[in-house]
Chain A
Amino acid sequence: MNKVSFKMVVILTAVAFIASLLISLVYSTTKDRIEDEYRKEFLRGLVSVFPPFDNEPDSEKKNINDTVVYIAKKSDKVIAYAVKSLSKKGYGGSIEVLVGVDILGDITGIEILKHAETPGLGNKIEKVFFKDAFKGLNILDKIAVKKDGGIIDEFSGATITPRAVCEAVEKGLIFISTNVLEPR
C-alpha cells in the first residue's frame, strides 16, 4: 500500500471516528428526554380518550389476547379501558387509533396516534369535531361513514381516510366489548 492511499484511509477513519463519538455523546444526553417526550405524548392521548381519572394508565395495563389494554381508574375503581387499534386502509398507509371505552361499552373518546394522510384533506381526522363524533357510540351503532350507510360524517374529497378510522375504531370497540368487558 503506498503512502497516499494509506493517508486517505487514516483520515477518513479519523473523521468517521470523531463524528460517531460526537453523535453518541448527543444521543446519550438526549435519550431520556426523547423517551420522556414520547411518553408524555402518549399520556396526552390517554387523557383525551378517557373521562377524568386519577391513576397512571400507561403503567397500569393488562395483556389480553396479545393486546395491551390500558386501564383508567378513579378512586381505585375501574372506569374505562383503552386499546390501540390499527387500520391498514388509510390513503397514505396504516392509521393507528387509540380507542377509549367505558365499563358500559360506550366510547369515551378516540385519538389518532399515527397517520400519513394528505395534509389539508385526510389529516382533518385530527380535528376535535371529527374525533368527538365517535363519543358515546356503542357496539349497537353502525360505525361507518355516511356513504356506507353509517353515522360518521366524511369530508368532501376524503372518504377513504374517515372510512379507515371507522374501521379501526370499530375493531377496538369490538375487542374491548368481547374480550375485556363482562357480557351484559
Chain B
Amino acid sequence: MKYRIFVKGLWENNAVFKQVLGMCPVLAVTTSAINGIAMGVASTVVLVCSNMVVSLIKNIIPSKVRIPTYIVVIAAFVTIIDLLMNAYFHDIHKVLGLFVPLIVVNCMILGRAESFASKNNLSNSIMDGLGVGIGFTMALFLLGSIREILGNGSIFNFYILSENFEPAVIMILPPGAFITLGFLLFLVNYIDDIGKHKE
C-alpha cells in the first residue's frame, strides 16, 4: 500500500511529466544538473514537511480557511529552508537564491497538501511527499543534465565532450528549457502508451 503511494507520486502522477505542475522552477533553474538537483531537493524537503504538518492538523482546520493555513505552513518551511541553505550551502544558494522563495507558490506543493495530505494519515502523507518530491527532483535533474550537456558540453561541471563539440547555447537559454521539456513529455507519454498497448 505504502509502496503504491510512492510509485504513484514518482511516476503515474509525476508532477512535471504528467500533471505539468510547478513549471516556474522546472523551466527557470534547470540550466545545469546540479541546479536541478538542488532545487528538487529543496522542494522535496518543503513538500514532505508541509504534507506532514497538514496531515497532522487536518482535523482542527476549518475548511473555509484551509488554503490560507496551508500557505502559511508552506511559507514557513520555505523561509526556514532558505535560511538554512544560505548558511550551510552558500554557493548553491547564490545561484538559486531568487528561486528558493518562489517554492512557496509552487502549485505542486499546495496541490499535494489540498488533494492528498488533507485527506490521509501521517505516514501515507509522508510517503506521498517523498514520492512526488523525488519524482520532481528526477525530472529537474533530467532536464538539467540534457540542457547542460547540449548547451555547455559538461555535466556536474566536468567537460565530457571533446573540444570539437560546439555547445548549442540556446539549450541553456529559456527556449532550450521549453524545447527539452516538450521532447521529454513526448518521450514519457510514448513510453506510457507502449505500456498500455501491451496490457
A contacts, CB < 8 Å to B: 4, 7-8, 11-12, 15-16, 19-20, 22-23, 26-27, 30, 33-34, 37, 41, 118-121, 157
Contact = CB atoms under 8 A, between A and B. Distances in A.
Contacts of B60: 11
A120 B83 CA distance: 28
Which of A11, A34, A119 has the most chain B CB atoms inside 10 A of its CB? Answer: A119
User: Chain B's interface: helix, strand, loop or mixed, by majority?
Assistant: helix
Interface stretch (B62-70, B102-110, B115-123, B130-138): B62-70
A30 B86 CA distance: 9
Interface stretch (B11-19, B38-46, B165-173, B182-190): B165-173
Nearest to A25: B80
A37 B87 contact: yes
A4 B169 CA distance: 58
B42 to A, nearest CB: 15
24 contacts: A8-B64, A11-B65, A12-B68, A12-B69, A15-B57, A16-B72, A19-B72, A19-B75, A20-B76, A23-B76, A23-B79, A26-B80, A26-B84, A27-B83, A30-B83, A34-B83, A34-B90, A37-B90, A119-B31, A119-B172, A120-B173, A121-B172, A121-B173, A157-B169
Pick the 9 closest A-B CB pairs, nearest first. A120-B172, A19-B76, A30-B87, A33-B87, A37-B90, A119-B31, A8-B65, A26-B80, A30-B83
Contacts of B172: 118-121
A27 B79 CA distance: 9
A121 B173 CA distance: 9
A119 B68 CA distance: 36
Contacts of A11: 60-62, 65, 69
B72 A30 contact: no
Nearest to A22: B76
A82 B75 CA distance: 40
Contact of A12 (B72, B76, B87): B72
Contacts of A16: 72
B145 interface: no
Interface of B: 31-32, 57, 60-62, 64-65, 68-69, 72-73, 75-76, 79-80, 83-84, 86-88, 90, 151-152, 167, 169, 172-173
Contacts of B73: 15, 19
Nearest to B35: A119
Contacts of A20: 76
Contacts of A30: 83-84, 86-87
A15 B69 contact: yes
Nearest to A119: B31
A34 B86 contact: yes
B9 to A, nearest CB: 25
B65 A34 contact: no
Contacts of A120: 31, 151-152, 167, 169, 172-173
A118 B170 CA distance: 11
Nearest to A21: B76
A12 B67 CA distance: 10
Contacts of B69: 11-12, 15
